[in-house]
A and B are shown apart, each in its own frame.
Chain A
Amino acid sequence: MSKAKPKVAFFEFTDCEGCQLQVANLGADLLELTKAVDIVNFREIMSEEGQEYDVLVVEGSIASRHDEERLKAVAAKAKVVVALGACAATGGVNNLKNLKSLEEQKKIVYGDVDPVKDAIPAKPIDTVIKVDYYVHGCPIHGPEFIKVMQCVLMGKPYKVPTYPVCVECRQNENICLYDKGQFCLGPITRAGCNSWLPNNGVPCVGCRGLIDNPAANAQKDILEKYGLTVEGILDKFTLYCNAQKERAKYDKEFESKGR
């Protein structure tokens, strides 16, 4: 990347735009970041549009042929691509629509009229374009976004934590939700959110995706203590993990590229 202030553009696809809102809400940290980069397209807060950019931050999953074409077009201009949030990184909750036939769902929602002829099964952006950085989570955790952007600026890779959420949860001195008689996906979910849900008394539902090779890398003491299997807890929380099962084949590819 050139030494001049890099230009950063945000684009959203099929999603709720909550991750961009997390970025907009960073306040002072965002202002600090704008000392190092020029934000040229960020429609949540500005209407001026810049036509040239170096870093493309993509929010949302790809769920129509229109999305696909637009993503290719906006990515063509960028030197570096960042996937912002679960929808862009793994498909997020949008993947849930893939569990049923699209035709059947159209029938239920729209009846005999079909206004969404170009709809396709939802998928993460790296099935369409090359992605250099991943910010996981639904929504993203603001401090991690800043860390990733620092890596982008320094031109070095950002290593997503490979250990489970339990590690952060213990650092935060939370009482284990299993000890409180609940299920939780913490033992097999990638860390990086500072155990956001368990801090607030809610089991982790795996929005950041599974750790690589959960069978080997899970928080084993908890699984053993409660006689649990990875499959057994996965079946309790399928909001994100159905997506993750489909996603497993991509994970090996990430690792080989050292991301």
Chain B
Amino acid sequence: MTKSSSPKDVKIDVHYLTRVEGHGDITVDVRAGELKECKFKVIESARFFETMLCGRLIYEAQHLTSRICGICACGHSLASIKASEKALGVVPHEDTLLLRKLLLHTEQMDSHVLHAYVLVAPDLLGVKSIMPLVKTHKPVIERAFRMKKLSDWAGEILAGRHTHPISFAIGGLTKIPEKAHLQKLREMMVEARADYAETVELFKKLTLPSFERKGQFVALSHDKEYAFYDGKINVNGEKLVDPQDYLSVIKEEVRDYSSAKFVTVNKAPYMVGALARFNLNGDKLDEKSKEVASYLGLKRPCYNTFMNTVAQVVEWGYCLEDSIAILERLIKDGIDEEKVLVTMYPKKDQWPVKTRAGRGVGSVEVPRGILFHDYTVDDHGIVTAANCIIPTNQNINNLEADMKKIVPEIVGSQGEEEMRLTLEMLARAYDPCISCSTHLLDVRFVS
């Protein structure tokens, strides 16, 4: 079969990993132009984080659950801390909240810049990875590394490190970030405005495929801010639900062919992540970010999955500006050490541990979408039940639905190579994770 021909029979196997459960396959089978099968299958062994947590002290939960994902480690850590605080009845100080928002912003920035530059830009510039771009587009790559380094360093000075943050604990922090470091971070962020402006120009020049499927969107929404750290579950802009009641809207289902659970809202797939957040909360962006969105052709509501990357670019700018504002406040007012400094685990004289018994749900927006941690503890601080719902699992159904719509649209009009690229790019648009998405699709054409 030649490159330019339009196959009517296509068998596609997408091999990629979900961040949590490792390797997965997407199987698409088209015969005589008709879609016979479209399935997502996670073939990696489950890690059983939920059962690992049971029987453990709640104070170990953030350390353990940050190990679910090396890229979203800060988000898992914060969702875990929020769930624990809710269960134990701990209320953190305002300065602690500001530092958590700042850490979460820098994680969004870290992940978004990787996705936009390392994964998506090579597609749009017609190469297989950033490696060839080191020669042809050196300033672009240097800029990406600069932007990446900014978030790495932020993680280091705020939490000890970005991958598996150290100092963020239930009730506060175990180490107060140094003022000089906060000042330096602010300076670096102000300088990064120039890199951001260039990034916007880069994405202005690139064209994303057109596609539309009117699906569902879910994200946290807050009445005062563009929600990342806190808010209520917003379902399609139609209703707001307290995260504590997430199980009343979000349903998990087990299928015998996949170790990842399938998740639905209103018995149907839904999308989480930057595009969902932009669609539901875009009115809470600052004026500058709204202008960037409109300059890049992103309008609410947007039903083109490929535009998720553009929404990430918009969010990068928003996170940068909001981080600068938070830093200026922390530098000006200082951090109330007495209210913020805590220990990670009970002290020697607090054993055997006594706590209140309860259940808490913690929800935050991580780069790939809304994340839930749900813990129940007894009065010795021992976890008796736990549940975690991660964004990539929520997006799997939606990716399947997108594939089912796009395959019949492109079969017959696109050649072999073009189809392969379109499907790869669609999978990448969800930003399932770095390594997953750089893994090429294995598209087999049945002739």
Contact = CB atoms under 8 A, between A and B. Distances in A.
Contacts of B259: 115-116
B161 interface: yes
Given A182-B347, A183-B345, A202-B167, A21 B46 contact: no
Contact of B174 (A12, A138, A200): A200
Interface string A228-258: 0000000010110000000000000000000
A114 B256 contact: yes
B322 interface: no
Given A200-B167, A239-B60, A67 B45 contact: yes
Nearest to B119: A47
A197 interface: yes
Interface in B1-57: 17, 19-20, 22-23, 42-48, 50-52, 54, 56
A119 B45 contact: yes
B438 A47 contact: yes
Contacts of A64: 44-45
B230 to A, nearest CB: 25
Interface stretch (B63-71, B185-193, B355-363): B63-71
B145 interface: yes
A34 to B, nearest CB: 11
A182 to B, nearest CB: 6
Given A20-B435, A196-B160, A113 B254 contact: yes
Contacts of A43: 434-435, 438-439
B434 A18 contact: no
Contacts of B438: 43-47
A93 B45 contact: no
A197 B261 CA distance: 34
Contact of B166 (A96, A113, A196): A196
B425 interface: no
Contacts of B345: 182-183, 203, 236
Interface stretch (A103-111, A125-133, A146-154, A213-221): A103-111
Interface string A177-188: 000111100000
Given A44-B434, A45-B118, A48-B129, A21 B163 contact: yes
Interface size class of A (residues with CB under 8 A): 35 or more
Contacts of B130: 45-46
Interface in A46-87: 46-48, 63-64, 66-67
A14 B45 contact: yes
A100 B51 contact: yes
A16 B23 CA distance: 12
A188 B392 CA distance: 38
A16 B65 CA distance: 10
A119 B259 CA distance: 10
A20 to B, nearest CB: 7
A69 to B, nearest CB: 12
Given A16-B68, A18-B67, A63 B174 contact: no
B51 A202 contact: no
Contacts of A180: 343
A48 B175 contact: no
B160 A200 contact: yes
Contact of A17 (B254, B435, B440): B435
Interface in A112-165: 113-116, 118-120, 138-139
A93 B67 CA distance: 8
B45 A203 contact: no
A109 B386 CA distance: 10
Contacts of B145: 27
Contact of A201 (B162, B164, B167, B261): B167
A115 B257 contact: yes
B237 to A, nearest CB: 32
A18 B73 contact: yes
Interface size class of B (residues with CB under 8 A): 35 or more
Contacts of A88: none
A96 B347 CA distance: 24
Contact of B64 (A22, A44, A93): A93
Interface in B150-205: 152, 159-164, 166-167, 169, 173-175
B348 interface: yes
Nearest to A24: B434
A97 B435 contact: no
Interface string A191-223: 000001101111101000000000000000000
A12 B435 contact: yes
A119 B46 contact: yes
B347 A115 contact: no
A241 to B, nearest CB: 12
Contact of A196 (B47, B56, B161): B161
A21 B63 contact: no
A20 B160 contact: no
A13 B47 contact: no
B267 interface: no
A115 B255 contact: yes
A21 B165 CA distance: 13
Contacts of A14: 22, 44-45, 47
26 contacts: A13-B22, A14-B45, A16-B67, A18-B67, A44-B435, A46-B438, A47-B128, A48-B128, A48-B131, A66-B23, A93-B52, A96-B52, A97-B51, A108-B54, A116-B46, A120-B45, A138-B164, A181-B349, A182-B347, A182-B348, A196-B160, A196-B161, A200-B174, A201-B173, A201-B344, A239-B56
6 closest A-B pairs by CB: A18-B70, A201-B174, A64-B45, A200-B160, A43-B435, A201-B175
Interface of A: 12-22, 25, 27, 43-48, 63-64, 66-67, 92-94, 96-97, 100, 104-105, 108-111, 113-116, 118-120, 138-139, 180-183, 196-197, 199-203, 205, 236, 238-239
Interface of B: 17, 19-20, 22-23, 42-48, 50-52, 54, 56, 60, 63-64, 67-71, 73, 118, 128-131, 145, 148-149, 152, 159-164, 166-167, 169, 173-175, 254-259, 261, 343-345, 347-349, 351, 433-435, 438-440
Given A44-B435, A46-B129, 18 more contacts: A13-B22, A16-B70, A17-B71, A25-B162, A45-B438, A46-B438, A64-B44, A97-B47, A109-B48, A114-B256, A116-B46, A180-B343, A181-B347, A200-B174, A200-B175, A201-B173, A205-B63, A239-B63
